[in-house]
Amino acid sequence: MLGFAVLLAFFRNQGRFPRPASEIEPLFVAEIAQQLAIAAPSGFAPGLAGRTAERHRAEIRALAGFREASVADAALLEDWLGDQMAAVGAVPDQLVTLLQTRCRALSIEPPAADRTDRIVRATIRAHDERFCAGVLDRLVPATRERLETLLRPAGNELEDPPSAQSGGMVPALLLWLRGDPGKPSLASVQDALAKLELIRGIGLPADLFDGVLPHELERYRRHVAAEAPTSCAAIPRRPGSHGSPLLDTSTPGR
């Protein structure tokens, strides 16, 4: 009886069942036991697996008017979560909380943790694809080509690219743009001016990222930083990715 009562109280409070038993605090168990006027065994935790637990969960769902999430529900939840991304960004913990709140409003038991994680990751991936497609659509062909040039080895774009002085492998222009300016000197000032001229010449629209959450823009910058070329190779592309839009976010000064 105590196990059923604890699960019922937890479900009423959280809109879901506990996943690990550690989610149930001993004080919570003690309060339920006190209301039932029974003694709670030391270290008591309700069973979360087995036929009895399954029966208890089914009875509690019926009492609360809830049902288990179906495959169709998961697809609808993913679509709904995608509509919330513009307001909260790709913050997994916040998206999980939103999904659980939505399930509670719909009287649906939230999907299992691994399934919830898949829904959140799929939502973030779809959001990123829409973002890239939207940015790409706003760039004229000439701007796209200039962005792609940043992924190629420095050559005729600069009269005397720093990489040419080393005599070794020529790195991509993007690496030069993001390089450390070094100690203040006439050469470092000239280098900075050359970088600024190159960046201005790309011709990105001033309002390209208007409406994008600051932490989202930073997330895209970190993403590009992790995939930046390490020599003369271009930034690695994931299958189906757009490339240039994420490169926009990494351009210094954006």
pLDDT per residue as tens digits for the range 151-192:
877 664 544 444 444 445 566 777 777 777 788 888 888 888
Distance separating alpha carbons of residues 9 and 60, to the nearest angstrom: 10
218 pLDDT band, cuts 50/70/90, is confident
Residue corresponding to tokens 């970088």: 195
Distance separating alpha carbons of residues 86 and 245, to the nearest angstrom: 17
Task: Give the rounded percent of residues in the chain with a pLDDT score beyond 70.
Answer: 82
Structure confidence by residue, pLDDT tens digits, 50-84? 898 899 999 999 999 999 999 999 999 999 999 98
Of the candidate ranges 48-52, 81-85, 232-236, the one whose mean pLDDT is the lowest: 232-236
User: Of 220, 226, 203, which Cα lies nearest the Cα of 132?
Assistant: 220
| Structure confidence at residue 78 (pLDDT) | 93
Tell me the CA end-to-end span of the chain in Å, nearest whole number. 61
Q: What is the full DSSP assignment across 55-123?
A: HHHHHHHHHHT-EE--HHHHHHHHHHHHHHHHHH-S-HHHHHHHHHHHHHHTTEEPPPHHHHHHHHHHH
Of the candidate ranges 4-18, 51-65, 238-252, the one whose mean pLDDT is the lowest: 238-252
> Can you give the C-alpha Rg of the chain in angstroms?
27
Average pLDDT over residues 104-133: 91
| Structure confidence at residue 90 (pLDDT) | 86
Task: Assess whether pLDDT exceeds 80 at residue 217.
Answer: yes
**The pairing of beta strand 108-109 with beta strand 67-68:** parallel
Distance separating alpha carbons of residues 67 and 43, to the nearest angstrom: 30
| Structure confidence at residue 235 (pLDDT) | 36
Task: Assess whether pLDDT exceeds 60 at residue 49.
Answer: yes
pTM for the whole thing? 0.68
Structure confidence by residue, pLDDT tens digits, 222-231? 877 776 554 3
Q: What are 216's two structure tokens?
A: 């989202």
3-state secondary structure of 143: helix
| Structure confidence at residue 86 (pLDDT) | 77
